[in-house]
Amino acid sequence: MSDYSEGSKGSESLKFATLVVLATFIFVSYTAYLFYLQVIRGVEYQRKAMTISRQIEKLPAQRGEIYDRNYNLPLVLNVDSFALVVVPAEIPPEMRDTVFSRLALALDEPLDEIRRLVSPNYYRLFQPVEIASSVSQDVIFRIAERMDEFPGVSWYSRPKRNYLESGSFSHIIGYVGDISREELKIYYNKGYQSGDIIGKAGLERQYDSLLRGKDGRQFKTVDVRGRRMAPVSQDVEAPLMGKNIVLTIDRATQILAEKALGERIGSIVVLKPATGEILALVSYPSFNANTIVEKGGNNEYARLLADPRMPLIQRTIQSSYPPASTFKTIMTTGIIEEKAIPLDEKILCTGEINYGDRVFRCWIRTPGHGRLDLAGALAQSCDVYFWEVGRDRLGIERIVSYSREFGFGQLTGIDLPGEVAGFVPSPQWKERRFHEKWLGGDTLNMAIGQGYLLVTPLQLANMMAMVVNEGVIYKPHLLKEVRDPRDGSIVTKTAPEILVASSISKETFQKTQEYLRGVISVGTAHYPLSTKAVLVAGKTGTAEVGLADRWHSWFVGYGPADAVNTDESIVVVAMIEASNPWEWWAPYATNIVLQGYFAGQTYEEAAGKLGLLGRTIVAGARVE
C-alpha cells in the first residue's frame, strides 16, 4: 500500500515538473519571440506601421517655361494658383448646406456642381475632395479671412500656365489640362497619376515629358478613417521644376507674319532652309490658350470645336490643298534634269488645248501666252506649256517620282502632333481606288498641281528649301534648345537633320533658281513682290476649288535669291483659302514678311513702306 502511494506521488511530481518545464519553455519562447519582434525587428515593423498610418501628399512641380529663339522674354510661364479641397467629414452636418452655398458663391459655380463633386457617399470621408483648380489668390484670401465659416475647406498651391502670347502662338505652344482616364491608361507606366496636369496640344503635348518636372511629396500621419493625427512630417521631397525649352520661333517674325496674314483664313510658314528651323508658323483663325486652361475651359473648347472655321486646326501642317502652279517648280526641275525638252524650244500657247472631249483652258484665255520656252513658261505660269511637256515629254511616272523626291505625300516629321502627309496620286492608286485607268486628263491636271494632288504649306516650304539647298531638305523643327531652369545652362541642342538628300544635279537646281527669279523680275509676281530690301525668287499659285469667283491663293518664295551662303536665306509660304473673298493676297503677304524680316521692320513699318498698310488688294479674276 505504501509502495503504491509513493509511486502515485512520484508520478504526480513528474507531471508537475513536466508542466513547469513546459510552461517555462512556452514563456521563454514567447519572451524570446517578443524580443525578436520588438527589439531585433522593431525598427522594421515601426517603419511599416508608420507607412500604413502615413499618407503621402503630392507637391506639384512647376512646368518648364517656353522661350522664343532669343531666350530673353518667355512665351509661357507659371503663375500662382491654388486648388481648393474639402474634407467632407470635417463639415458638421448641420452646416453642410451653408458651407456648400458659400463655396458656390465664392467660386462663382452652381450649387449643384458643388453637391455633385461632394456627393452624400463622401460625407463620412476624411480624405480631401478637390472641388476647384486654378483658383486665384483673391478667392483664397476671401475664404481665409472667414475660415470659421468654411470648416473642412483647405487649399494647396497648384501653379497655372500663363500664355503671354496667344493668337497664332497658341497653335504652336498648345495648352495643358487635367489628365483624362484614357490618357492615364496610356501614360500610367510613365509615372502619370490621376489629377496630373498634362500637355493637350502643340508643344505642351509634344514635349510634356521635358516640361512637366517631378512632383515632390510630404507625409502626414492619419488614423484608420483618414483623420490627421500629427503635424505634417519634416520628411519632405521638394518638387523639381521641368526643363525650360527654347524654340526656333522668332517672336518678331511670328507677329509680323500673323499681321501680314490678317483675318484671312489661311497660313504662313517662314523657314530657314539651311537648318530646318521654323521662324514662324501662322494659322488663322486661331484661339487664346488661356481661355481653355482657365475656369470654363471645357465650354470654351466645345465652342471652338463647333466653330465651322475650325480654329483649332493648325493649317500649316494639318490641312492639305492642291499646290496649283507652285507645283511647276517641281515640273521645271524634272524637265531640266530629264532633258525632256530643249530649254530653248518654244511651245505655242493659244490659251487652250483639246484632249478627248474636253477643252483645257490656260489661266490666260484667248489669245494665250504665245510661244514660250521653259524659262518664259515658268515666269508666266503657262498651263499649256506644262500640260504638253508633262503629258508628252515627261510622263506621269516621272512626275510622280519627282513629287516624292521633294517629300510630297510624306510626313515632314516636324515636332508638332497631328501632321498630315498630303497625297501624291498615281495610276496604280487610281486603279485600286476607283477601278479606273489613269487618263491623259489626269496627267494634265497633275502637271499644273491640280486633281488629286494635295500638299501642306510646310511641305511646300520644304520643296523650296530643296531648291535653295540644291538637293537637301533638313527636317523642320521647332525645338532649338533644352535649358536647365536653375542656371539656364544648355542641356541639349537640336542639330540639323537631313530629311531628304536628292540625286538631282546641282546644275539643275541652279537653273531652276534662275527661272524662279524670272517669276519675280518679269513674271506673274513682278508687281506684288516689290520689296527692295532683298532679292526674291519664287512661284505664285492659284488652286481651283470648284468656285467661279474665288480660288486658293499661294505664294512660295525665298530670299536673298543671290545669297552665297544659304544660312542667310529664308523660305516664305503664304496660303490664303478660297473661303475668303478673292483678293490674291498670298504674294502681297509674302512681300510684307520679306520686307519686314530683311529690313528689321514691324508689320506697320513694312506695310507702310510698301504702300500696303490698311489696303485690301482686290482682284476680280484669277491670277497665277
What are the start and end residues of each CATH 3.40.710.10 domain in the chain? 251-609
pLDDT of residue 543: 94
In this predicted structure, the answer to whether residue 229 has a pLDDT above a threshold of 80 is no
In this predicted structure, the answer to whether residue 353 has a pLDDT above a threshold of 60 is yes
Task: Tell me how far CA of residue 218 lies from CA of 55, 462, 490, 579, in angstroms.
Answer: 8, 51, 31, 56
Chain-centre distance for alpha carbon 610: 34
Chain-centre distance for alpha carbon 345: 48
Cα Rg of the chain (Å, integer): 36
Q: Which cell numbers hold the place of 200?
A: 493637350
User: Which top CATH class is 251-609?
Assistant: alpha beta
Taking residues 542-559, what's their average pLDDT? Answer: 93
Phi, psi at 457, each rounded to 5°: -55, -35
pLDDT by residue (tens digit) across 595-605?
999 999 999 99
Burial class (CB in 10 A: 0-12, 13-18, 19+), 16: exposed
Q: Label residue 606 by pLDDT band (50, 70, 90).
A: very high
CA pair distance 589, 586, nearest whole angstrom: 5
The percent of residues in the chain predicted with pLDDT above 90, rounded, is: 63
Taking residues 194-199, what's their average pLDDT? Answer: 87
381 vs 219 pLDDT, higher one = 381
Label residues 225-235 b or e (16+ Cβ within 10 Å = b): eeeeeeeeeee
Q: Label residue 619 by pLDDT band (50, 70, 90).
A: low
pLDDT of residue 328: 98
- Least confident segment among 221-235, 258-272, 449-463: 221-235
What are the start and end residues of each CATH 3.30.1390.30 domain in the chain? 81-158
In this predicted structure, the answer to whether residue 122 has a pLDDT above a threshold of 90 is no
Query: Per mean pLDDT, which of 23-37, 63-77, 88-102 is the most reliable?
Result: 63-77
The percent of residues in the chain predicted with pLDDT above 70, rounded, is: 91
424 vs 118 pLDDT, higher one = 424
Q: Give the fold, CATH level 3, of 81-158.
A: Ribosomal Protein L30; Chain: A, (3.30.1390)
pLDDT by residue (tens digit) across 429-464?
999 999 999 999 999 999 999 999 999 999 999 999
Residues 6+ apart with CB under 8 A from 141: none
Task: Tell me how far CA of residue 407 lies from CA of 8, 124, 208, in angstroms.
Answer: 109, 62, 28
In this predicted structure, the answer to whether residue 297 has a pLDDT above a threshold of 80 is no
In this predicted structure, the answer to whether residue 392 has a pLDDT above a threshold of 90 is yes
CA pair distance 411, 419, nearest whole angstrom: 7
pLDDT of residue 308: 94
Are 68 and 247 a contacting pair, CB within 8 Å? yes
pLDDT of residue 324: 97
pLDDT of residue 232: 52
In this predicted structure, the answer to whether residue 27 has a pLDDT above a threshold of 90 is no
Q: Which residue has the cell 496604280?
A: 428
Direct distance between the N- and C-terminal alpha carbons of the chain, in angstroms, rounded to an integer: 139
Taking residues 539-565, what's their average pLDDT? Answer: 93
In this predicted structure, the answer to whether residue 3 has a pLDDT above a threshold of 70 is no
CA pair distance 502, 401, nearest whole angstrom: 12
In this predicted structure, the answer to whether residue 227 has a pLDDT above a threshold of 60 is no
In this predicted structure, the answer to whether residue 211 has a pLDDT above a threshold of 60 is yes
CA pair distance 283, 285, nearest whole angstrom: 6
Q: Are strands 66-67 and 244-247 parallel, antiparallel or unpaired?
A: parallel
Q: Give the fold, CATH level 3, of 57-80+160-247.
A: Penicillin-binding protein 2a (Domain 2) (3.90.1310)
Are 164 and 249 a contacting pair, CB within 8 Å? no
Are 213 and 239 a contacting pair, CB within 8 Å? yes
What are the start and end residues of each CATH 3.90.1310.10 domain in the chain? 57-80+160-247
Residues 6+ apart with CB under 8 A from 556: 326, 329, 460, 461, 463, 464, 538, 539, 541, 571, 572, 573, 574
In this predicted structure, the answer to whether residue 81 has a pLDDT above a threshold of 90 is no
pTM over 0.75: yes
In this predicted structure, the answer to whether residue 223 has a pLDDT above a threshold of 70 is no
Q: What is the mean pLDDT of the chain?
A: 90
pLDDT of residue 275: 98
257 vs 302 pLDDT, higher one = 257
CA pair distance 374, 372, nearest whole angstrom: 7
pLDDT by residue (tens digit) across 124-153?
888 788 888 778 888 888 888 888 889 888
pLDDT of residue 365: 78
